[in-house]
Amino acid sequence: MALSSSPMILSSSPQVIPLTGAGIGPGPVANFSPKRLMFASPAVGSVAAAQTVTLTNTGNTALSLSNIRIDGINKADFSEISACGNVIPPQGNCAITVGFCDNSR
């Protein structure tokens, strides 16, 4: 499972990360809530308040995870902490915390 995004750092607020994901195998279904995160632009080098995304397996079989990561042009400006482990059971969920620090200027 990979979190993917295409963050674009603009000179104005807010910063937006669209979230996508896909389960592997017949039956697990990965859903993210919320579907996107919006970060206000902090001062250069400062950290915006972290936000939490819930990954839920709405399928009827276990969702296997091999990797959770942030990807995209400005991926170094974002951090991710996950307590998801390697498997999310059917109807189970886990939290992914995402942080943002504007290092672009």
Domains of the chain, first to last: 15-101 (2.60.40)
The pTM assigned to this predicted structure is: 0.69
- Model pLDDT for residues 8-64, shown as the tens digit of each residue: 444 455 667 776 666 555 689 999 999 999 888 777 777 888 999 999 999 999 999
pLDDT at residue 93, rounded to an integer: 96
Quick one: DSSP state of residue 14? Answer: P
pLDDT at residue 34, rounded to an integer: 95
Quick one: DSSP state of residue 75? Answer: G
Distance between CA 49 and CA 39 in Å, rounded? Answer: 8
Q: Is the dihedral of CA 86, 78, 71, 76 positive or negative?
A: negative
Residue 92: alpha-carbon gap to chain centroid: 17
Compute the C-alpha angle 8/55/4, nearest 5°. Answer: 30
